[in-house]
Amino acid sequence: MNDEELIALVCCDLGSIVRGRSCFASSIDQQLAQGVGWVPANHALTPLGPVAEPNPFGSTGDLRLMPDPATRVRVEADAASEPRAGALDFMLCDIVETDGSPWECCPRGFLRETLTLLERELGARAITSFEHEFQVLAWPLADQPIAGLPFSLEAQRSSEPFARRVMNALVEAGAEPERFFPEYAAHQFEIPLAAAEGLTGADRAVVFREVVREIARRLGRRASFVPLLNPSEAGNGLHIHISLLDAGGHPLLYDASRPGCLSELGERFAAGVLRHACALSALTAPSPVSAARLAPHRWSAGAVCLATQNREALLRIPPLFSLGGGEPERQMRLEYRGADASANPHLALAAILRAGLEGVREHLPAPPILDRDPAELAAADRERYGVGALPASLEEALEALSEDGQARGWLSPLMFEAYMSVKQAEVRAAERQALEETCRRYAAIY
C-alpha cells in the first residue's frame, strides 16, 4: 500500500486561521512552479466556520497558493506516541492571481508592500519578534488538572514532557525559541522567539502557533491562544517587538541623549502608532473577546500611551541593559502590547508599521513617556500624557477603522470590504451570547 507523506501548502487568512491544501511530498517541485488552486471566497470564511454574508467575492474567481520554499517547516512524527501519524510538514504561501501577480487581499503580500515602503521612505529594515501567550488545556475544559502557581518551577515541571518537546520542535522548525516559562493564568505559558528581519518575523508567528498546537495534540492536549479563556483571569496576548535598522545595520530607534533613549525618528514612529491606536485595534485584537482583555490592571494594554518598563501601556520601551556586554543600542525596540492571536500576524505587523510611518511622514511631536500607572492618573495628567482608552468592543474598533481615513486607506477597498464582512459576522454572532460562552467558543477556535 502506498504510504507517501503529505506536505501542506497554507496561508493565514483574515481571521488568523491557517488554511490550505496538501499534496504528496514527491510532487512539491511542480507545486513550487505552479502553486495550487485557491478561491477568493475562502478569504470570506469566518473563524466560526461559515462564509460571511454579504462578502465581496461570491462564488466567482480563481487564485493560486504559491508556496515559499524558504518557509518550509518539518517536525518529525513522534513514533512512540503516534505510530501512524506523519510529520508536520508545511510551507507558507502567498495568494496570487492565476498569472502569478500579487492578489490585493493577500496579508503576506500586504506586509511585503509595507516593508518596501519602509525601506524606500526611511531607508529602514524592520526587525521583529512576536511573543505569544497560550494555555495548554485538557478538553473538555471541565477536566483541567490542578495547575502550579504563576511563574513557579512546579508549574513548569508539571507541564512536562510538553515543555521539552515543544522547545525542541520549535528548534527543528527553525523558529529559534529562546526561553520557556509558565505565565500568570492557569495552564498558561510563553515562549519568546528570536527576532528576525522582514517577512520572517511574522512568518514565525504563524509557524509557532501551529508547532505548539501540534505538540500539544500529540500529548492529548489542546493549546489554545484564545485572547480570553476566563473573564476573571488574565488572557493570552501577543507582544510585537519592532526595531528598525538602516542599510548598514545601524539602529535607528536609539539615541542616548533623548528621553527613554528613543531617537527622534522613533518618537515620531511611536506617535503615529498612538494616533491610530483605536483603528489598529480592529486589526491587532480583532475578536469579540479581545477588548475585555485590553482593560486596566489586566497586565495587557490598559491605556493608549508610551511608557518605559510599564506593562499597562499600549506601547512600551523595554529595559536596556549592559550586563554581560549587552549593547543598549542593539536592544532598543518598541513593544506593541495590544495584539492577540485572533490577528493575522502579517496584517497586524503591516498595520503597525504603516501607522508608525505616517507619524514619521507628518513629523508628529514626541509623545510623553509615562512613568506611572495610567489608571491612577488624574484627568489633567491623563491629558498631559496623552493617555486614552482602546475601543471597548470589536464593534467600536471596526467603527474606528472605518472612520480613520488614513488607516482605512492602508487596505485596498476589496481587502477592507472583505475584512469588515468577516469581522461583522463575528460581532453579530457574539451579540447572542454571554461573554463566558463566547470565550469558550473562541477557545476552541484559537
Residue with cell 549587552: 326
Asked whether the predicted pLDDT for residue 84 surpasses 70, the reply is no
Asked whether the predicted pLDDT for residue 190 surpasses 90, the reply is yes
User: Among candidates 206, 170, 176, which has minimal Cα distance to 349?
Assistant: 206
Residue with cell 525601506: 119
Could you give the angle at which helices 199-218 and 345-361 cross, rounded to 10 degrees? 150
**CA Rg, the chain, in Å?**
21
Number of domains in the chain: 1
* 101-112 pLDDT per residue, tens: 999 999 999 999
User: In this structure, is residue 16 part of a structural domain?
Assistant: no
pTM: 0.94
User: In this structure, is residue 106 part of a structural domain?
Assistant: no
The 3-state DSSP class for residue 302 equals: coil
Instruction: State the pLDDT confidence band at 1, using cuts at 50, 70 and 90.
Output: low
Give the span between the Cα atoms of 276 and 358, in whole angstroms: 9
* 384-409 pLDDT per residue, tens: 766 788 999 999 999 999 999 999 99
Domain CATH for 309: 3.30.590.10
pLDDT at 111: 98
Report how far apart, in Å, the C-alpha atoms of 170 and of each of 109, 197, 202, 323 are.
25, 18, 15, 28
Give the span between the Cα atoms of 382 and 273, in whole angstroms: 18
Dihedral over Cα of 30, 33, 34, 35: its sign: positive
Asked whether the predicted pLDDT for residue 274 surpasses 70, the reply is yes
Extract the C-alpha cell encoding 236: 493570552
* 277-297 pLDDT per residue, tens: 999 999 999 999 999 999 877
Backbone angles phi, psi at 270, to 5 degrees: -60, -40
Give the span between the Cα atoms of 50 and 99, in whole angstroms: 29
Give the span between the Cα atoms of 122 and 112, in whole angstroms: 15
Residue with cell 492618573: 377
Q: How far does CA 84 lie from the centroid of its chain?
A: 32
* 205-234 pLDDT per residue, tens: 999 999 999 999 999 999 999 999 999 888
Cis upstream peptide for 413 (omega within 30°): no
Q: Which carries the bigger pLDDT value, residue 3 or residue 403?
A: 403
User: In this structure, is residue 22 part of a structural domain?
Assistant: no
197-206, 293-302, 357-366: range with lowest mean pLDDT = 293-302
User: In this structure, is residue 7 part of a structural domain?
Assistant: no
Q: What percent of the chain has pLDDT over 90?
A: 75
Domain of 220, in residue numbers: 111-445
* 154-183 pLDDT per residue, tens: 888 888 899 999 999 999 999 999 999 988
Query: Residue 85: in which H helix or E strand, if any?
Result: none
* 322-351 pLDDT per residue, tens: 777 678 888 889 999 999 999 999 999 999
User: In this structure, is residue 262 part of a structural domain?
Assistant: yes
Asked whether the predicted pLDDT for residue 46 surpasses 80, the reply is yes
User: In this structure, is residue 391 part of a structural domain?
Assistant: yes
| Buried/exposed 19-50: b ≥16 CB within 10 Å, e otherwise | ebeeeeeeebeebeeebbebebbbbbbbbbee
User: In this structure, is residue 60 part of a structural domain?
Assistant: no
User: In this structure, is residue 171 part of a structural domain?
Assistant: yes
6-15, 210-219, 321-330, 426-435: range with lowest mean pLDDT = 321-330
